[in-house]
């Protein structure tokens, strides 16, 4: 994809470089294709790790090494305040309200493909490129990455065709194993660097300890759906639907899972068994839709959908209300539909867009019983 008929040698591409192998290879491929490449590192979080070292500084050193190896200029830009104001504050408010937000999606929408894209264009770049595992086509549609285990279209479903016309995804056609081999052959210092996980730009850490710095939580009770107290939790905000690990509940029988939360009463409801009916729902409602084409395919349409990253696509029917609110009916009941996560829609390899999950239903306890009203405060 070239800008206004320009040759690659006449086209400037700013590559958003994180210090990881994916963005390193994105820069490598564009350089090999003849583009004028500029590596730019975004500093969005300002905090030291447990050893007292600034993790952003470490990552920028990796960016500098890769860019020096490729013979391309490199710079750093800072969006620490913008990340706090537009992403992290919202992330905290969602947790305080009892939801489980996905900050990566908000960061892509508000920081990477808005503020950072604007900065790239201010540098007279023709395109912004990133190391996301997804693709575009000449019609400026968003496509899945070729590697099914790494496809990241789920995280960038908020991009429109207008934005996609200014963005390149150089590694979307690669398998991760092939990408690492390219990095090794090119002698890139990031070729064996571990993939980053955890919160967008904040990284891996003890999540409950980290969240506790910002969200005041009070201990409360774990209850079954019939009201029986089976243990104590450290704060309802710390738990998410379907969670198994970290509950601290034992005893004979199947493992415990979180099936519901009542933030007002600081109660976390649990039941035994990975397939307990309380974990499943037939449909969901969703708000804040975002469509790559600018509008949904129709007022009602068939699609495949994901309600979480790396989930297998699920067959569904989507209905769009006059206010844009969605109802998504699944062919098969879905497990742990989580409010304020995203549902993302596909037609084959094309990502159509997505929305924020409002709620799943009818849930088991909505059909069979009301949640116990006994408070724990």
User: Active-site residue numbers?
Assistant: 107, 200
Segments in 1-114 forming alpha helices (H): 21-32, 55-70, 80-83, 89-96, 103-107
Q: Which of 182, 174, 121 is nearest to 145 (CA)?
A: 174
Q: Which of 274, 337, 329, 277 is nearest to 311 (CA)?
A: 337
| Spatial separation of the C-alpha atoms in residues 374 and 366, rounded to whole Å | 17
Residue whose pair of structure tokens reads 């920081």 in the numeric block: 111
CA angle 282, 285, 287 (to 5 degrees): 160
| Spatial separation of the C-alpha atoms in residues 361 and 136, rounded to whole Å | 34
Q: Label residues 301-321 b or e (16+ Cβ within 10 Å = b).
A: eebbbbbbbeeeebebebbbe
Indicate the DSSP class of residue 203: B
């Amino acid at each position: 994809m070239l800008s206004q008929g320009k040759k690659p040698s006449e086209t400037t591409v700013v590559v958003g470089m994180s210090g990881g192998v994916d963005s390193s290879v994105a820069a490598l491929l564009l350089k090999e294709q003849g583009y004028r490449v500029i590596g730019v590192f975004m500093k969005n979080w300002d905090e030291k790790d447990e050893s007292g070292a600034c993790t952003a500084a470490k990552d920028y050193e990796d960016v500098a090494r890769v860019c020096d190896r490729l013979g391309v200029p490199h710079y750093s830009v800072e969006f620490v305040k913008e990340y706090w104001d537009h992403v992290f504050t919202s992330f905290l408010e969602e947790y305080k309200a009892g939801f489980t937000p996905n900050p990566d999606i908000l960061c892509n929408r508000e920081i990477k493909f808005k503020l950072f894209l604007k900065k790239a264009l201010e540098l007279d770049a023709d395109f912004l490129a990133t190391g996301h595992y997804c693709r575009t086509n000449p019609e400026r549609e968003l496509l899945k990455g070729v590697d099914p285990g790494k496809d990241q279209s789920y995280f960038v479903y908020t991009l429109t065709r207008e934005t996609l016309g200014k963005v390149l995804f150089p590694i979307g056609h690669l398998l991760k194993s092939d990408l690492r081999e390219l990095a090794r052959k090119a002698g890139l210092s990031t070729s064996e660097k571990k993939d980053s996980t955890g919160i967008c730009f904040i990284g891996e850490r003890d999540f409950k300890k980290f969240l506790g710095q910002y969200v005041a939580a009070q201990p409360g009770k774990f209850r079954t759906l019939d009201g029986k107290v089976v243990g104590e939790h450290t704060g309802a905000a710390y738990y998410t639907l379907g969670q198994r690990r970290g509950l601290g509940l034992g005893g004979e029988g199947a493992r415990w899972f979180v099936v519901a939360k009542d933030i007002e009463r600081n109660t976390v409801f649990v039941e035994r068994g990975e397939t307990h009916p309380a974990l499943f729902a037939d449909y969901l409602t969703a708000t804040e839709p975002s469509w790559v084409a600018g509008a949904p395919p129709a007022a009602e349409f068939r699609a495949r959908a994901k309600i979480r990253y790396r989930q297998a696509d699920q067959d569904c029917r989507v209905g769009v209300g006059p206010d844009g609110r969605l109802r998504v009916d699944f062919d098969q009941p879905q497990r742990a539909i989580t409010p304020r996560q995203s549902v993302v829609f596909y037609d084959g390899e094309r990502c159509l867009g997505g929305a924020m999950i409002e709620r799943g239903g009818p849930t088991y306890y909505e059909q069979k019983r009301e949640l116990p009203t006994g408070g724990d405060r």
